[in-house]
Amino acid sequence: MPLTKKLLFLFMAPAVISFATQCYSMPDDNWQLDDTPAEMSDDEEIALGRQVDEYIRHQFYLETDPEFNAAVNNIVQKLVAVSDRNKLPFTCAILQSLSINAFSAPGGHIYLTCGLLQFAQTEDEVAGIIGHEVAHASLQHASKFYHEVMEFLSHKDEGINSATNLLLLNSHLEEFEQDADTTGVLYAQKAGFNPNGLLNFLERHLNLIRHKGLFGMFGMSGHNSSPTINSRIIHLKEYISTLEREK
């Protein structure tokens, strides 16, 4: 796989919430990321996000129903307003895909699939999912992860494919997911939503995965495996219990 393909996959990995049930296509050889510094300023992160967004919009059909988009983006803006990086130009696009998936790109780009929105049962669940993605941006996970990837790639003797480096990256991805879960839940609560929304969604999605025997398609990071989702659920339950005690 060409380097730029690997980078896009790895770059988006920490922002991929564990809801995928089908594999998305990777960039073709005609699409390239511009050279980007490992440590990104806000402007550089926004510029990189525009490149990723341009690619995604060329690979997927977007939902154009104005009322549907307005309802989702209304939730987005409520969560952005209480986030720690509310000056980022957050946008949310709905992808015409039946997969249950949500992910984000640098600079405040959020993507939800129609399948996910159909699977969600309440506005609180949708808010929890969006809060997770807003949290990734607020915590600058994409920039941090990209910096780590570039560091590994600079060490020619080991590189990104060594077992040690892959385990380390995977560990950091799991930390990012749990951090985005708890921060996103906090944002949801501050915005007036039920903080149990994301937990309820994850529990139902885990049951679906176990029922159908689906274990996700992002095999490299393993974030869609049943054990990983279960660990996120356990971590979320512990965190939400602290929120309830603090009331």
How buried is residue 132: exposed, middle or buried, by Cβ count under 10 Å (0-12/13-18/19+)? buried
Q: What percent of the chain has pLDDT over 90?
A: 49
Supply the pTM of this predicted model: 0.78
Distance between CA atoms of residues 9 and 21, nearest Å: 16
pLDDT of residue 17: 30
CB 7 within 8 A of CB 149: yes
More confident residue, 199 or 167: 199
CB 170 within 8 A of CB 227: no
Q: What is the pLDDT of residues 170-206, one digit of tens each?
A: 777 888 899 999 999 999 999 999 999 999 999 999 9
Q: What is the pLDDT of residues 8-56, one digit of tens each?
A: 444 444 433 323 323 333 344 444 444 444 467 888 889 888 988 999 9
For the chain, the residue count is 247
Q: What average pLDDT does the segment 132-154 reach?
A: 81
Q: Across the chain, which distance is largest between two alpha carbons, in Å?
A: 53
More confident residue, 103 or 144: 103
Task: Give the DSSP letter of residue 246.
Answer: T
Q: Which two tokens stand for residue 160?
A: 């990104």
pLDDT of residue 27: 41
Q: What is the pLDDT of residues 74-118, one digit of tens each?
A: 999 999 999 999 999 999 999 999 999 999 888 999 999 999 999
Strand partners, 92: 110
* CA 2, chain centre distance (Å): 23
Q: Which two tokens stand for residue 153?
A: 């790639």
